[in-house]
């Protein structure tokens, strides 16, 4: 074991640098700078504790998103090595319930969790094809495969203790009825009141007080194109979800990330109409309420716009405002054309 550990530590020293997107994002998170300094040490600890070997192709970088790095590994236990990936996440509250949701899904629609070290925000997962995703499928062909995954993930709550870790969307919506207008006012009413009121109407209707919760399911709230990877190597037909930000609530809450991504691929002649058609197609394919899907999109993009404005990210805020108003059929005046909005 000592010889293997020495070999792994030697190989770790030669790992490529983390992508700048991850570095920049990590620095905006409390404790992220320390994680950037220590992540290779955490990697070596997990390799030793779980008897793993690195499986990096020479000259090929590890996969990374905005808040995590994913390193291909091989499990040595057993007669035949098993391929997997080791995911190391910058510690933040949104990532806390990820292993609980993955355990609840148990490989049905979502990547299978093999092991977790919750204090370290470290997960050992099955390996998927990280070089391809639903983004490689033409935009108008994505509702079907996306909906297939949504239906698998939309499980009703049970009695398992794992459910206690999942945040409730209705409770958050009730809080947003107070925090959103307060933040809008602090920022000088940066967009029309009617758009704020549209978001608040959804929050009030779907908030915790007086609502019925029999439709609540486990929701992957970040189910965009790049978080859907091919289930079968080399095929772009069936997909598996990764990187969940789970909530318990309306399944329609999952639609928004599919609308605020790939805006530059909308029909240039009438992008707003194409956006609304895409929303309807996504909801229809998954058996969801299209109006509620639009409503939650407005809520999420109003929240995003206020956050972006608070951080001085005017272009990103304009993108969120374009989506929020366009999905309602009332695209705000004064916004740049879709082609000039920052891409996600």
pLDDT in tens, 74-131: 987 666 778 999 999 999 999 999 999 999 999 999 999 999 999 999 999 999 988 8
Contact 254/143 with Cβ under 8 angstroms? no
As a whole number of angstroms, the distance between CA 222 and CA 258 comes to: 9
From-to residues of CATH 3.90.1200 in the chain: 134-340
Tell me the pTM: 0.92
Per-residue tokens: 237: 């037909």
- Reported as a single tens digit per residue, the pLDDT across 301-325 is 999 999 999 999 999 999 999 999 9
The sign one gets for the Cα dihedral 29, 125, 69, 11 is positive
Residues 292, 225, 324, 171, CA torsion sign = positive
Cα 55 to Cα 107: distance, rounded to the nearest angstrom: 23
CA-to-CA separations, 130 to 100, 233, 308, 340, in angstroms, rounded: 22, 10, 29, 29
| Angle of CA points 205, 286, 168, to nearest 5° | 40
pLDDT in tens, 45-71: 999 999 999 888 777 777 888 899 999
Cα–Cα dist 327/260, whole Å: 10
Lowest mean pLDDT among 34-38, 108-112, 128-132, 277-281: 128-132
* Token duo for residue 310: 């608070």
Average pLDDT, the chain: 92
Q: Domain 134-340 is of which CATH architecture?
A: Alpha-Beta Complex (3.90)
For 218, the enclosing helix (H) or strand (E) is strand 217-220
Structure tokens at 333: 């005046």
Instruction: Count how many Cα atoms sit within 13 Å of the Cα of residue 157 in the half-sphere of its side chain.
Output: 19
H-helix or E-strand spanning residue 128: none
Whether the CB-CB separation of 48 and 5 falls below 8 Å is answered with yes
Q: Return d(Cα 160, Cα 64) in angstroms, integer.
A: 32
């Amino acid at each position: 074991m000592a010889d293997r550990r020495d070999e792994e530590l030697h190989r770790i020293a030669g790992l490529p640098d983390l992508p700048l997107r991850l570095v920049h994002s990590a620095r905006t998170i409390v404790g992220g700078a320390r994680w950037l300094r220590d992540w290779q040490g955490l990697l070596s600890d997990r390799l030793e504790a779980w008897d793993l070997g690195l499986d990096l192709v020479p000259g090929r970088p590890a996969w990374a998103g905005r808040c995590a790095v994913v390193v291909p590994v091989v499990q040595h236990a057993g007669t035949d090595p098993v391929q997997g990936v080791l995911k190391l996440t910058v510690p933040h509250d949104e990532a806390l319930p990820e292993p609980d949701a993955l355990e609840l899904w148990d490989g049905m629609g979502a990547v299978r969790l093999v092991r977790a070290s919750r204090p370290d925000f470290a997960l050992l997962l099955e390996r998927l094809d990280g070089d391809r995703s639903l983004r490689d499928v033409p935009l108008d062909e994505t509702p079907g495969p996306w909906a297939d995954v949504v239906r698998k993930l939309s499980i009703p709550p049970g009695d398992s203790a794992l459910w206690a870790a999942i945040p409730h969307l209705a409770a958050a919506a009730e809080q947003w009825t107070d925090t959103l207008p307060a933040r809008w006012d602090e920022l000088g009413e940066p967009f029309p009141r009617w758009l704020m009121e549209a978001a608040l109407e959804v929050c009030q209707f779907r908030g915790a007080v007086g609502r019925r919760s029999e439709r609540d399911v486990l929701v992957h709230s970040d189910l965009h194109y790049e978080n859907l990877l091919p289930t079968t190597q080399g095929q772009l037909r069936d997909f598996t979800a990764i990187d969940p930000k789970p909530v318990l609530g309306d399944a329609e809450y999952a639609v928004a990330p599919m609308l605020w991504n790939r805006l530059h691929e909308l029909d240039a002649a009438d992008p707003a109409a194409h956006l609304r058609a895409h929303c309807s197609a996504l909801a229809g394919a998954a058996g969801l309420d299209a109006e509620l899907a639009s409503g939650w999109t407005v809520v999420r993009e109003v929240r995003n716009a206020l956050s972006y404005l608070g951080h001085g990210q005017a272009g990103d805020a304009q993108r969120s405002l374009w989506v929020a108003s366009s999905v309602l059929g009332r695209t705000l005046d004064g916004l740049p054309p879709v082609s000039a909005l920052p891409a996600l």
